[in-house]
Amino acid sequence: MQREGFELSKKIVYRLYREEGLSLRYRASRRRRAQATRPVRAPVNTPNVVWSLDFVCDQLSQGQRFRALTVMDVFTREALAIEVGQQLRAGDVVSVLDRLRRWRGCPQSLSCDNGSEFTSQLVDLWAYTHKVRIDYSRPGKPTDNAFVESFNGTFRDEC
């Protein structure tokens, strides 16, 4: 409701819940994640409609670990961005998405897994402000995001 511009205190929300007879969560969890159910995905028939995101983790010969954020267009199967760093967080994901938005425009939806970087409030707020839907894959089902998983395997083998 705050995202929609309503200024409500906790007491008002509590009173409204009680009047409607709804059950309440008395203590908010420490980790607040964006929640969405996953409907059946329609086939993509034009570029720049669905972008797929995922992380690749690997280790250098010295033993130093690194991560790479890969973003690809599902229709053209083109790698739009590969961001490499030791610690990539939700802010880094948002900066990459902003850079791509300025370069190619916004997609209609993002396809990603349920990692903490993608389910964070920063990414959810970015998607909301740019009217982008986030399609999370089901837990334990990497085939929901098969194109980027295949790209990541090739990327790991070649680099």
Asked whether residue 85 is domain-assigned, the answer is yes
What is the C-alpha to C-alpha distance for residues 156 and 66, in angstroms, rounded to an integer? Answer: 12
> Which range of residues forms the domain containing residue 59?
50-158
The CATH number of whichever domain residue 148 belongs to comes to 3.30.420.10
Asked whether residue 118 is domain-assigned, the answer is yes
pLDDT of residue 138: 83
Domain count, the chain: 1
Is the separation of the CB atoms in 106 and 131 below 8 Å? yes
Is the separation of the CB atoms in 71 and 50 below 8 Å? no
Mean pLDDT of 104-120: 93
Mean pLDDT of the chain: 86
Asked whether residue 30 is domain-assigned, the answer is no
Q: Which residues contact 42 (CB under 8 A, 6 or more apart)?
A: none
Strand order across the beta sheet in which 65-73 lies = 78-85, 65-73, 50-59, 109-112, 133-136
Asked whether residue 34 is domain-assigned, the answer is no
Asked whether residue 13 is domain-assigned, the answer is no
Asked whether residue 63 is domain-assigned, the answer is yes
Q: Which residues contact 12 (CB under 8 A, 6 or more apart)?
A: none
Per-residue pLDDT tens digits for 54-92: 999 988 889 999 999 999 999 999 999 999 999 999 999
Q: How confident is the model at residue 36 (pLDDT cuts 50, 70, 90)?
A: low
What is the C-alpha to C-alpha distance for residues 77 and 107, in angstroms, rounded to an integer? Answer: 14
The number of C-alpha atoms within 13 Å of 72 and in the hemisphere containing its C-beta is 19
Is the separation of the CB atoms in 83 and 69 below 8 Å? yes
pLDDT of residue 69: 96
Asked whether residue 26 is domain-assigned, the answer is no
What is the C-alpha to C-alpha distance for residues 118 and 106, in angstroms, rounded to an integer? Answer: 17
Asked whether residue 73 is domain-assigned, the answer is yes
Return the exposure string of 14-32: e unless at least 16 CB atoms fall within 10 Å of the residue's CB, then b: eeeeeeeeeeeeeeeeeee
